Amino acid sequence: MARHVLRISQLIHGLSPLRLARCELPGLSLERNGASVKHSMLSSGRTSLIHGRIAQRFYSSSDGTAAKQYFHEVRTLKYERMRSTCQPILNLSGEVAPDIRFKHLSVNDIVAIRYTTGQVPFPSDTEGVLYYDQAKAQIRFRLCKTWDNFQQGKDLVTPRGTAWRMRMGTITRNLRLYASNLALLKDESQTAPQDVDPYLDNHRMVVTSSPERLMSKNQHIFNISGLQNAVIEIQPGGSRADPAELKYMQSASIGSDFHINFPFRPETSGVFYYCQSQVAPTRVGELRFRICSDIQAFDHGSDLPLPSGEIWFLSSRALHLGRYYQPIREHLVKEGLLERDLYPGVPDSMVPSKSSHVTRLGEPFVVDLFGDAFALTFITLRPEISTSKILLRLRTKSKPVSRRAVVHLEEYPSAYLPKRSDKRRPSWHCAF
């Protein structure tokens, strides 16, 4: 019997006070009657020890008078649901480490939050609600007296003047501690918390790159702000492929062979998608990043720009040639967005990486109309494979536009030939 008592005592001592107040064990009876906690199998000395740990949670005085509710309840982190869930307005004024219960059906744990490091209490008038800022991937505290004042309120700031926040990186690296936070976010937001943590880059899962299938496939939003290398994983047909690494911008370092990787700009939150050409949809296209707060806002979002103002993209040619992009290429092929063999009969080693090329007239390719000239490589397949690079000049009186276009070469129309006085009449021209 003594051995049994010792085993129960050790079990109780290892439980947290909050868990202990709600658990039931064989032969164990816990009651909150004033200042007493009774246990039929423990000595009176042991009882007082357990009572002291629980009373700190439930009572503010030694005589057992009831105090305020010992935790603050968060029923939603989404502003649109605060009225329907009757989210209480939280008053954290003067508290050093208030306990927050993120209410969820599967997880109902309590988390202690702090205003800053040490024993600095939350400032006076810290009254409002916790909410999830999806664009910044942070949980913040909005100062407001009622739900109706949410939009007009301001976020709580730290002594340094920056916004008080709970970073998703911190939350996802402490899964057991913040399980209730994650469960609530997963239910309410299409942004999976593990997808926005730069330290868990292998959890950025791409299930589709088709704009028409983003909602039906429940594609998650990514936050890749500040990352030099955004690593994503492709999930075609339920199986996980190798990761692919995407960079924002590279520039060569002066006087060396090294390249400088520039990080993705702030607030780069959205989704990768493949933009097909209307002329040759399965041959010409671009992988882009659409900035949007959720999938429903995809059509109203904007594509990620470069510092120059041009759209960030990876061309179908780059996806075909880059060995690091093989998982993306295979994914696009399986979705029917891209042909597997873009250049039949041409070895990859002969496909130019920095200039457009054609093997015949009528074959579509992409040109940038911003410059006054562009390079084009002709590849002949018979009688033997050979290449010839030419420079085409754009003659126009109007100012060049910064826009890419899908064009092709065709024979020069015979109807235009008599009107030309050139000694060397053209044999073909570039058509849009």
The Cα 315–Cα 116 span in angstroms is: 46
How far from the centroid of its chain's Cα atoms is residue 143's Cα? Answer: 26
Q: What angle do CA 268, 273, 276 make, to 5 degrees?
A: 135
pLDDT digit string (tens) for the chain, length 432 residues = 444 333 333 333 333 333 333 333 333 333 333 333 333 333 333 322 222 222 233 333 344 444 444 689 998 888 888 888 889 999 999 999 999 888 775 666 788 899 998 889 999 999 999 998 877 778 999 999 998 899 999 999 999 899 999 877 677 667 677 777 777 877 776 555 444 444 444 467 888 999 999 999 989 888 888 887 788 888 655 455 567 888 898 775 555 555 677 889 988 999 999 999 888 899 889 999 999 988 999 999 999 999 888 899 999 888 888 778 888 999 999 999 999 887 777 777 677 666 676 777 777 777 777 667 777 777 777 666 666 666 666 666 565 555 777 777 777 777 766 665 666 666 666 666
> Sign of the C-alpha dihedral, residues 74, 78, 83, 85?
negative
Domain boundaries, the chain: 2-58, 72-188, 196-342, 348-432
Sign of CA dihedral 167, 171, 177, 181: positive
Q: What is the pTM of this model?
A: 0.51
Show the tokens assigned to 54.
Answer: 């629980």
Contact assessment for residue 288 and residue 276, using Cβ atoms and an 8 Å cutoff:
no
The span from the CA of 79 to the CA of 155, in Å, is: 13
Measured between alpha carbons, how far is residue 142 from residues 115, 145, 148, 348 in Å? 14, 10, 12, 55
The answer to whether residues 279 and 316 touch, using CB atoms and an 8 Å cutoff, is no
DSSP reduced 3-state for 92: coil
Backbone angles phi, psi at 217, to 5 degrees: -90, 0
C-alpha angle 306-310-315 in degrees, rounded to nearest 5: 95
Contacts of 193 (CB under 8 A, 6+ apart): 168, 171, 172, 181, 182, 185, 186
Which residues share a beta bridge with 143? 128, 154
Amino acid occupying residue 7:
R
